[in-house]
Structure 1
Amino acid sequence: MNGKEKKTTGACVCGALKFEFTGEPAMKALCHCLECQHRTGSAYTTNLLIPRTNFTFKPSSPSVMKTYTFTQSDTGLHFKTTFCGECGTLISKANDEAEDFKPVYIVGAGCLDDGIGSAKPDAELWVGHRANWLPAMDGAAQLKGFS
């Protein structure tokens, strides 16, 4: 790419909270945990684990940025979510307790400006909570928890 790192952009549904990151995700995963189901009202979330050093919210958007912390019931870990205060779109989750999560933000793949097409998951997490009508994703590691 002519010596330049790939830059990816994204935003909430109303466009008030924007972000960007450089490089590739450290991992792409579907999460079937109960909290992801509750937070989204869906069967799972599609997540990109982005190194924190590569991720930034755009300067014009922090005024609408809101946060909420929840406890993941299977582990007791606390995740701080960042969402748009205008439209409610969940952008990211972060955890500062577990060594595996400290270096990354967990970003919702559906918030990417170019769409979710290139975000095919490497793994499915918390498969014990996967809806019984959903098959396992071909080629994705099937994990009982976060690892």
Structure 2
Amino acid sequence: MSERTAHCSCGQLRITVQGEPRVVGLCHCLACQRRTGSVFAALAAFAGPYEVQGQASEFVRQGDQGARFRFRFCPACGTNLFHTEEGVDSGSVSVAVGTFADPDFPPPRFSIYDSRRHGWVQLPAGCQAFAKDPAP
């Protein structure tokens, strides 16, 4: 089984995941735009187990459909490294794709909140777009 490690800018906070991502996607919601400081978030979801090293600050945000997401940030450099969804598949984790610093990382297969995507952002071929979050 393959192993991947992502870390923050200063290296203090790390997460190691096992296997290939279950899904890689983009989120264009306004909350993700503000959270990342970019025009979208690129995320990779992994099944557990995973291992975290270092100290993390947390921020909990409620999504449009009521789900609660717990985001983990490095308290030293501020990098948003990963998040979990409370009460759902507690063993899974979503990691910010850029924190792997791997240009060969698998491309996104879906794009959510595409209705809020900046007009100049082009999606990769084969990436399925949803106007909002298709999750129930």
Q: Same fold (TM over 0.5)?
A: yes
1:125 to 88, 95, 112: 112
Q: How far apart, in 1, do the equivalents of 2:26 and 2:50 lie? A: 20
* Residue segments in structure 2 that go unaligned for 5+ positions in a row: none
Kept in 2, the 8 Å contact 1:48–1:119? The answer is no
The structural deviation recorded for 1:102 is 4.5
1:70 to 41, 45, 61: 61
CA RMSD of aligned residues (A): 1.7
Residues 65-111 of structure 1 show CA distances to partners (whole Å, capped at 9, x for unaligned) of 11111122x323221101101101001111124x4x65521110111
Q: How far apart, in 1, do the equivalents of 2:31 and 2:106 lie? A: 21
Aligned-residue sequence identity (percent) comes to 25
Rg comparison, structure with higher value: 1
Which residue of structure 2 lines up, in the alignment, with residue 93 of structure 1?
Answer: 83
Q: Are residue 146 (structure 1) and residue 133 (structure 2) matched?
A: yes
Task: Give the number of aligned pairs.
Answer: 134
Match of 2:44, SS state, is: strand
* Residue segments in structure 1 that go unaligned for 5+ positions in a row: none
Q: How far apart, in 1, do the equivalents of 2:56 and 2:74 lie? A: 5
Pairing 1:1-147 to 2, within 5 Å after superposition: 5-51=1-47, 53-58=48-53, 61=54, 64-72=55-63, 74-97=64-87, 99=88, 102-112=90-100, 114-147=101-134
The structural deviation recorded for 1:146 is 3.0
TM-score (norm 1): 0.83
Kept in 1, the 8 Å contact 2:49–2:92? The answer is no
The structural deviation recorded for 1:25 is 0.6
